[in-house]
Chain A
Amino acid sequence: MASQPAAAAAAKAINPAFNPRTVHFWAPILKWGIVIAGIGDFYRPVESLSVTQNAALLATGSIWTRWCLIIKPKNYPLAAVNFFLAGVGSVQMGRIGIHHWKLKQEAGTTPASTPSPAA
């Protein structure tokens, strides 16, 4: 087939080591476990969330996303995993932030001149 050598060349160019017999393959797969655990935490109550832990996930996720693109061989799957991990961290921090903002509003320390649109 005409597309096969082209596909093979593309695969070689992207990452020749990306096959199930190398660590470059398994590292991203393992890290998805952490992302899935993080997504599971979306269903936990906001009060039980840790700001430092989720800030750490956001920071490490972003830094590692960049790192995966400057190493050799570039690891796009691992970069994607870390991108999602940073996403999980930021969603959780958003939840915590909104929760604290709501508490402040209820306590009356923030003058709520207009009703919150998301309520």
Chain B
Amino acid sequence: MASAIAALNAKIRSQPVLNYICSTHFWGPVSNFGIPVAAVMDTKKDPEIISGKMTAALVVYSAVFMRYSLAVTPKNYLLFGCHFVNEGAQLAQAYRYINWWHYGGREKALAERATAEGAKAREASAPVS
């Protein structure tokens, strides 16, 4: 059993592409992509759910790890890409957060929602033509 595993491992390590795909250099960043994907999906959602603190922390975190991924040997471009995307998504969320809470975005959205509901109510109560 052990020799079968050793033989399989030797086969994997001898082939550069297979060796890469069967390594943490690949699966680390692949599993890490969950964070940027979640962040990008969140850019389409209500700004109320954005956590200002977490977004600020992730902006710093992804910047540092963008640098770290290129400072180690072997350089991990996949991890760099993952944190690059996350940095962009977190900055977008930070913009949406600041716009929502400090530049009148929330007030504007609430006003629009009120006018939309008012129009709907008028339509509902209007006599059928």
Q: Which residues of A contact B (CB under 8 A)?
A: 22-24, 26-27, 30-31, 33-34, 37, 56, 59-60, 63-64, 66-67, 70-73, 75
Chain A neighbourhood of B24, CB < 8 A: 63-64, 66-67, 70
A26 touches which of B23, B34, B64, B72 (Cβ 8 Å) = B64
Q: Across the interface, do A60 and B57 meet the contact criterion of CB distance under 8 Å? A: no
Residues of A within 8 A of B61 (CB): 30-31, 33-34
How many of chain B's residues touch chain A, expressed as a range?
Answer: 20 to 34
Having A30-B60, A72-B72, one finds 18 other A-B pairs with CB under 8 Å, namely A22-B71, A23-B71, A27-B65, A27-B68, A30-B61, A30-B64, A60-B32, A63-B24, A63-B31, A64-B32, A66-B24, A67-B24, A67-B25, A70-B24, A71-B74, A71-B76, A73-B73, A75-B72
> How many A-B Cβ pairs are below 8 Å?
51
Please report whether the interface of chain B is mostly helix, strand, loop or mixed according to DSSP: helix
- Name, among B27, B68, B74, B76, the residue most crowded by chain A CB atoms within 10 Å (CB to CB): B68
Residue B28 CB within 8 A of the other chain: yes
- Sample 28 A-B pairs with CB under 8 A, ordered by A number: A22-B71, A23-B64, A23-B67, A24-B68, A24-B72, A27-B68, A30-B60, A30-B61, A33-B57, A33-B61, A34-B61, A37-B54, A56-B31, A59-B31, A60-B28, A60-B32, A63-B24, A63-B31, A66-B24, A67-B25, A70-B23, A71-B72, A71-B73, A71-B74, A71-B76, A72-B73, A73-B72, A73-B73
